Amino acid sequence: MFEQDRSAAVMGVTGGAGATRLTVELATTLARDGRDVAVFDAAFATQGLSQYLHGRIDADLTRLLTDEEVTPEAAMVDLQVDTSGDVSVCPTYAPFERIARAKSGEAAERFGQELRDATVAYDHVLVDTPPVADNPSIAAVSATDTVACVVPSSKRGVDTLARTRDRLADLGVEPHRVVANGAAAPATGDSTPVESADVAVPESDVRGVTDAPVCIEDATGPFARSIATTAEAVFETQLDVEFPKEGLRTRLSF
């Protein structure tokens, strides 16, 4: 039904790059186009995706990877967004002891297989991925079709991107897309441009978790348009999401 790239690791090149928020916005935008999306949380240290969910989390990703009796369906939680497609989230929400077991080599192999299996059950799979440093993050970038490196639009982000490329090369993984996150408007000039970025996402007025995803609350604004452009770039696809003519998406070459 859709193009070859079905899964993507949305990887922050450094802590605080905004990969978690971007993952949620991308998943919701794909769902606006009627696509069913699964989102996995490989950021075991921060467990950020759990903050976007409502209600109790009974089974999470770490239980899925360490307990043979837990099924993928049991570990999925509905993001509860008003879209024609569904967004199902497999969060990480666990004590330190279970996180330690979920970081084992055996658990990483199962994680990779779960990601590949999910591409059969869903139209797209997204993985909120921290900087590559442990087995879950290595599994995420190795088992997905595409790696999108999320780079803060700052000198720190630019410097870290080079090191990230080297680390991915050591794993035999290519960063397919570079996303400059939090890019300032050209007139302000208060951010460092990421020259190698394929697409740029501006800052949104909404920063808190409770008001996200912004692409639903402000579905025609510049932030939502940039997220749609990013989704198209990451998955090499075309979305049937309408925007006003005066708000055409601005693309960087890729």
> Which residue do the tokens 């921290």 mark?
130
The string of pLDDT tens digits covering residues 217-239 is 888 888 999 999 999 999 999 99
Q: How far apart are CA 73 and CA 209, in angstroms?
A: 25
User: What percentage of the chain exceeds 90 in pLDDT?
Assistant: 71
Facing residues of 105 across strands? none
Residues of the chain below pLDDT 50:
1-2, 185-191, 246-254
Widest CA span in the chain: 55
DSSP H helices in 61-204: 61-66, 72-75, 96-102, 105-121, 135-143, 155-170
pLDDT on residue 69:
96
> Which residue do the tokens 């000198």 mark?
155
pLDDT on residue 5:
84
Q: pTM of the entire structure?
A: 0.90
pLDDT on residue 221:
87
The string of pLDDT tens digits covering residues 65-107 is 999 999 999 999 999 999 999 999 999 999 999 999 999 999 9
Q: How far apart are CA 121 and CA 169, in angstroms?
A: 30
Q: How far apart are CA 18 and CA 7, in angstroms?
A: 19
pLDDT on residue 154:
74
Q: How far apart are CA 78 and CA 52, in angstroms?
A: 10
